[in-house]
Structure 1
């Protein structure tokens, strides 16, 4: 915020206001519109940021505080907006409200080191540090910060300013205690902390930095090293002797030696976690999605930390992860499952934070929370969670069925029946009504043992939705397992087959009728049903053939499209040509041979009929299309002497395809044949095959190759060296022998 004075000075510290779309008339003109957009879509982050930015641009204090309170209530992990909110109120000189805002911020972000540092810096500036009360207040804030975020991997800055504060207050023994804590915590700058401790030890006297107990222990060790075995631990006086100048180096040596062991152990812990920490690119919450690589890094890091078995470190890492991945329910569920084994209340707190603040519309997380409460005997809480979720996201069948299941498991069948009947009424005219009717009929049939009532429920549902196959199938099952008239299932099937059902549904009903008649019906009725069943099977095969034909048509059309695309892409491609050779694609008229031209002319002269002319033109067009297709191949050099279409020969399965290699990419051949040959066993008997290259011949004229076979002149292979190798040597192709 800039230095302009805001228009009002009203106190809007109360943030527990109702979520109404209408606000006061004293607000800026467009504030109501932005407020409505944010309230109607409370999970839209951009709508809230637009509201906050508009309120700041108008410099209206009441609007700013109202917008910030509601926004930070929905997104409490946005530490940047907490800082902006506190700066806004501090700009107006309201110290009490600013301190409250900072207190709310660190309470919502206990592991946010930046938020704690901003809070402490504000307290330093706002308080009179010459007063003892102010010093105690600031020391209490430091202790809270270190207790909450001191074991975070990036907490070095917080420890540094805490140590500086105690050093300024001349509390050197307290500084030593702080160094003892930080040297056992795996942090990013653990080496820097150890170096600062060394500087601190050599800058002050051991009497100032050590407590009496440690001074007595170090003095006892020094006496034992001086071969004074007569001195025992019980013989040492309780009064600490003063340290002489000669003992100061030994005291410092012992002090650093003890802390060095802590430093080495801490270094091992840091090295275990360093790879995971390097993979974390986002330390705090942002509303944008996280990279998959970083999510996998968090999963592996959590798995590693759980395998180490240090409960406090595991909890801190889970909290760090949720500070970044607060919008990913898998980490909330993982944290709740882990912490449940240590504390049920802590697991309940995790579910409350996830479902009420960060993920209020993730129904799967709410269902897990309700199951957790039911597991631990809190039935009222489970019922309240499911009711609240159904009010938040109405129309979810799984939520209503969870409520029904909760009531059934607790023996409240009347409430379960009422919930299902209510669901049928609320979803009238949709497919869900039939679904709920089936569930209600099963509840009545299985638990209440009333088949007549179950049939009545299904028949009532069929009156409203007669073409629902699921209702017909369930009614048939109820009719088959009741002791009513034997013809009732047959009547049910006949009524279903008359409805507008799919062929598959009719086939299933016909199969069930065949099974029933085979057990309870006559042979004639079974034969009639079997003949009718064959018609449904024939429909199925016919439909399958039609589907196969349609698939074949689609495949053919797609293949034709791909061929056209390939022809277009390869017709004018210069990359497929070897260097120095350009593709020659002549016109259509050049592909017509002399024989075809002469025959067409003679036939046309003899007949003089339009049919003959049309036939001759068709023949010429066919020849031109065939030849043009042949010359539109991606490698036209193979058709220089044979204009017919190219048919590649069958290659053996072990022969890999050969590719063109530009001359500049061909590896250099060794000048001496034995340059890269490994040394032989007998180097002296076979000298010219060793690693040492044979020297070139430079003796007098004569026959050196016969007299001295070990002095061969290694001439390079004629067809194996240089760029000319690809055009005139043993390369797969050249100008005169095209690849076949």
Structure 2
């Protein structure tokens, strides 16, 4: 027995205490033995010193980062090696408080405790360890160890008292519920249950009614097992028939027992079910398969079980999959959804979400589902608050997920107050206000000027107004938002709408006075002016309308002038860069010439290269026709796109960016920074530069960016991430084309993009042909589009005959002078 204890302690890493004997005493006088012993002692001292230093390093690491899973494992392993029992228990408790432990870790813990102490108190401690272990993951081996431990060490069970037998049966039934449907290992629990009942049968003293009752109990367990698809079910069927022959003493019974028809039918049905699942069982247990393949096999198996319509089987298969892949967030989410939609047992659902959040702490959807499941289970406010606080300590991918968590908590508190459930917890509206304030303080620095923060304040103000009946508090909500996000026109408009809905027109008018002169992004400044005028038309008097118009119209004119000035500056920058890059030796102006080679910058259309510039008169007319009925937002988009081209061309002119290996990204979140984009492309790698475009007036991000890569391979990989989400926005990623303005002209391209064209159907082919011709081969050619003429090449020298004939058809002109180049016109004049 002592040898068995010693082997057990060595297996668990706990060295037994050495006993002194005569042999040891005799060897003390041997010099060689003494020298060897001294050498061993020195070696042990060095090893112990090294272990002590490692232990101190691990303790420091865990103090700095308690969430280091590997550090916990190494620390426990080291303490088991050093036999530091007290610290070992504390280390295991610390790890179990943060992470779920694997079944093998629970078994190791229980075995260690069993070898260290005995008695009633030790039995209760170890039994509690097994109970805790069943909560983390499904493990048939852990259940079997638990059952065997209770069978051997529980005095009431060992004595087969009525309470002990009842306790053991309840434990077996729990084990069958948890693992009895486990196709490959469930038979272990069934066999142990039958063995226990047979032992009880052997201890029945009287061969009477009690014996028959016990036989019927064992028979019932056999029947239940034969209806479940398990491995080696045919062996169980033969064992059942042998048992019947042995215990049912009927003389006329033949040697071959015929099972009842309903048992035989259930057995054959179970065998059919097992045969249908045998291939799936083989796939998920196949050795050498990768983790990805194994997970895919589990998902296929789950799909098959779900189609069979047995929720209990689907649930236990999910438990098996989770034991194999405990940190697969997709698997946990799928499991939780299935429980929510199918099982709908509050205790089971809450338990699953609790375990899911311990394994995948970074998944916001699991925490939200956890809070909702607890609310459905009528959990107390204290329990809900504890889970919410725990969720806030986790690390999510972006602050929008924290916002969703806050909103879920607010929704729950609001519902409890509305339904009267808050009386038990003493909740009132002050609790909602406190959560709103906390959310604002927590999220405002990161979600400034975002739709999420606006939604939070809109929700808050609505509750203050309609739930708390506090108009002053509702106004305070909007005022606090305007202090941090005063450049959001939506915030001002929602504030105004609230006052209008309440019938406070003077207050709404006062807010308009405060914001109409502010500068907002895009066309917001113009929009707020037009909205104020519309407000006065619908709600104000004629005097109110006149006073407002007197204030607003100068502001609109000022904004229009400002826009035109900024566009002129950007056009000048664009044309300046084009002149520097576009000049060629064959097109340079001779010194002392009388003609000019460049059209003034103010007469050039934005987005058209120097080789494709129209005359001032035609460009102005086309611009008016293009924007005649265009909505304000489309006008702004067109101007923004033009300004973007000017910025890129200006950068190219300076030689800073070539866009030869660059990705263009649009629909970027306005909160995104360079670091966010760099992290987004971290899996691609090779990022050499990031240019996040910003508005010249406000300095805010425009949601556009150019990302340079080191080579074309990395660029191609980056383009494959198109439509992936960054900070809640689905990005549009395309390869940047630096020659896009040389392919048909920027002005015509934008007209096509906006669906605006002045070409007639019968003229489209001519325009296309002219566009496809190389610019270098048409130094002085012109191209007619609609009723306009677009001159290519140097257009400063225009003979009067040509100017008079621009816009006329060839029949009206009577000659072909309009098709001559500038050099040909010069030669004609020299001849004259």
Larger proportion of strand: 2
Indicate yes or no: 2:333 matched with 1:330: yes
Distance 1:359 1:35, change over 3 A: farther
Matched, 1:263 2:267: yes
Q: Report the Cα distance in structure 2 between the residues aligned to 1:149 and 1:372, rounded to whole angstroms.
A: 25
Call closer, same or farther: CA 1:369–1:116 in 2, change over 3 Å.
closer
The alpha-carbon deviation at position 95 of structure 1 amounts to 6.8
Asked whether the 8 Å contact 1:305–1:313 carries over to 2, the reply is yes
Shift in CA distance, 534/175, structure 1 to aligned 2, threshold 3 Å = same
* Match in the other structure for 2:180: 150
Aligned length: 497
Counterpart among 641, 644, 647 of residue 544 in structure 1: 641
SS of residue in 1 equivalent to 2:183: coil
- Provide closer, same or farther for how the CA distance between residues 479 and 109 of structure 1 changes in structure 2, counting only shifts above 3 A: closer
Query: Residue deviations 1:338-386, cap 9 Å, x none?
Result: 4664x4444444445545x545665433433433454566573675356
Mark the CA change 1:333 to 1:514 in structure 2 (over 3 Å): closer, same or farther. Answer: farther
1:364 corresponding residue in structure 2: 365
Per the TM alignment, residue 49 of structure 1 is displaced from its structure 2 partner at its CA by 0.8
Query: Distance in 1 between the 2:466 and 2:510 partners?
Result: 20
Q: Matches of residues 121-132 of structure 1 in structure 2 within 5 Å?
A: none
Rounded to whole Å, the distance in 1 between the matches of 2:63 and 2:285 is 32
In the TM superposition, residue 305 of structure 1 has moved relative to its aligned partner by 3.6
Q: CA deviation at 1:158?
A: 4.2
Match of 1:502 in 2: 521
Q: CA deviation at 1:79?
A: 1.1
Shift of 1:266: 0.9
In structure 1, C-alpha distance between the alignment counterparts of 2:153 and 2:378, rounded to whole Å:
50
**8 Å Cα contact 1:339-1:347 kept in structure 2:** no
Separation of aligned partners in 1, 2:388 and 2:220: 52
**Paired residue for 2:407?**
401
User: Shift of the alpha carbon at 1:85?
Assistant: 1.9
Q: Structure 1 residues 507, 377: CA separation in 2 closer, same or farther (over 3 Å shift)? A: farther
Partner SS, residue 234 of structure 2: helix
The residue that corresponds to 1:112 in the other structure is 139
Separation in structure 2 between the aligned mates of residue 282 and residue 504 of structure 1, nearest angstrom? 63
> Which residue is equivalent to 2:803?
none
Match of 1:194 in 2: 234
The whole-number CA distance in structure 1 between the counterparts of 2:554 and 2:470 is: 33
Are 2:456 and 1:416 equivalent residues in the alignment? no
Q: Which moved more, 1:70-79 or 1:442-451?
A: 442-451
Task: Name which of 111, 116, 120 aligns with 1:87.
Answer: 111
1:4 is aligned to 2:15: yes
SS at structure 2 position matched to 1:544 = helix
Rounded to whole Å, the distance in 2 between the matches of 1:168 and 1:440 is: 67
**Whole-Å separation in 2 of the counterparts to 1:40 and 1:349:** 30
Report the equivalent of 2:317. 317
Displacement of 1:337 in angstroms is 1.0
Moved more, 365-374 or 460-469: 460-469
* In the alignment, structure 1 residue 380 sits paired with structure 2 residue 381: yes
Larger RCO: 1 or 2 (CA < 8 Å, sep 6+): 2
Name 2:513's counterpart in structure 1.
491
SS of structure 2 residue aligned to 1:262? helix
Partners of 1:208 and 1:532 lie apart in 2 by: 106
User: Do structure 1's residue 49 and structure 2's residue 73 form an aligned pair?
Assistant: yes
SS in 2 for 1:242: coil
Q: Give the one of 226, 230, 234 matched to 1:183.
A: 226
- 1:472-504 per-position Cα deviation (integer Å, ceiling 9, x unaligned): 44445456663117863542233422xxx5335
Distance 2:407 2:643 in 1: 40
| CA drift at 1:270 | 1.5
SS at match of 2:81: helix
The answer for the alignment partner of 1:558 in structure 2 is: 661
After TM superposition, the structure 1 = structure 2 runs for residues 169-248 of structure 1, keeping only pairs within 5 Å, are 178-187=221-230, 189=231, 192-195=232-235, 197-198=237-238, 201=241, 207-210=245-248, 242-243=251-252, 247-248=253-254
Distance in 1 (CA, whole Å) between partners of 2:172 and 2:370 is: 36
SS state of the match for residue 502, structure 1?
coil
Q: Give deviations 1:232-280, integer Å, cap 9, x for gaps.
A: xxxxxxxxx523xxx524x43x249876543321121113333443443
What stretches of structure 2 of length at least 5 have no aligned partner? 1-11, 19-50, 203-213, 419-427, 568-635, 664-707, 714-832
Partner of residue 78, structure 1: 102
* TM-score normalised to structure 1 length: 0.54
Q: 1:32 to 1:474 in 2, by over 3 A?
A: farther
Cα distance, 1:123–1:550 mapped onto 2, change above 3 Å? same
CA deviation map 1:37-89 (0-9, x unaligned): 44665544223212212212322111122222332454445111122223333
* Contact map agreement 1:370 1:385 (CA 8 A) in 2: no
On the 8 A contact 2:516/2:529 being kept in 1, the answer is no
1:428 Cα deviation (Å)? 7.4
The change in CA–CA distance for 1:56 and 1:269 in structure 2 (over 3 A counts) is same
Distance 1:437 1:70, change over 3 A: same
- Alpha-carbon RMSD: 5.1
The answer to whether the 8 Å contact 2:110/2:129 transfers is no
After superposition, the C-alpha distances for 1:524-560 in whole angstroms (9 at most, x for unaligned) are: 6665455455457766444311324667877851399
Shift of 1:423: 4.8
Q: 1:610-647: CA deviations, max 9, x gaps?
A: xxxxxxxxxxxxxxxxxxxxxxxxxxxxxxxxxxxxxx
